[in-house]
Structure 1
């Protein structure tokens, strides 16, 4: 795991990070984006373009969002490593923690 997408992304799904990612490792779930821990090359290109500041280096994830590190890993349990988000398209699921959240938006 290198970079993690946390709660500010829930129900926002801006996708600026997806466009910036050189290795296509940011996948779209139903309510948020997830970084594949095995496909990320730790380049950091995604972090500065996120308009809601939802992307953190794994060691810098704020304590209140620590569970998002696990969520970014667990999202790929069934999906595996498809070798790029563009091959997969939007995945109609989320980590159970994310799925259970009330509706959110940019101003949460």
Structure 2
């Protein structure tokens, strides 16, 4: 299993999770962050620091966000096996589901 970033991250991209990830598996897209399921070690460090509660263990994703498991995995089809987020930097695209969303209102 792995952790997954869901809808609350869209247009938020706080990036606190990136600083906490010990294996550099959280990548930046244009509108949200993505966890590479092949690099994630399931430590949960990212989940506990996310200020918008966008990160879930795959089995704990709310029903309305189940698609985000696929979204996170498919984001990496273009990157293949990048070997660490810091190495590749921010990407100028998002998964089509995310790219097609209307702008998300800021919390509060």
Same fold (TM over 0.5): yes
Taking the aligned partners of 1:106 and 1:48, their CA distance within structure 2 comes to 20
Consecutive aligned runs of 4 or more in structure 1 exceeding 6 Å deviation: none
CA shift, 1:40, in A, is 0.3
Q: Given the two structures, how large is their TM-score scaled by the length of structure 2?
A: 0.97
| Contact 1:34 1:75 (8 Å CA) reproduced | yes
| Contact 1:52 1:106 (8 Å CA) reproduced | no
| Contact 1:4 1:57 (8 Å CA) reproduced | yes
Unaligned runs of 5+ in 2: none
User: What are the residue-to-residue correspondences of 1:1-108 with 2, within 5 Å?
Assistant: 1-107=1-107
Taking the aligned partners of 2:27 and 2:105, their CA distance within structure 1 comes to 19
Q: Given the two structures, how large is their TM-score scaled by the length of structure 1?
A: 0.97
Equivalences, count: 108
CA shift, 1:37, in A, is 0.5
Provide the secondary structure at the position in 1 that maps to 2:56: strand
CA shift, 1:107, in A, is 2.2
Taking the aligned partners of 2:81 and 2:21, their CA distance within structure 1 comes to 16
| Contact 1:39 1:81 (8 Å CA) reproduced | no
CA shift, 1:81, in A, is 1.5
When the two chains are superposed, the root-mean-square deviation of aligned CA atoms in Å is: 1.1
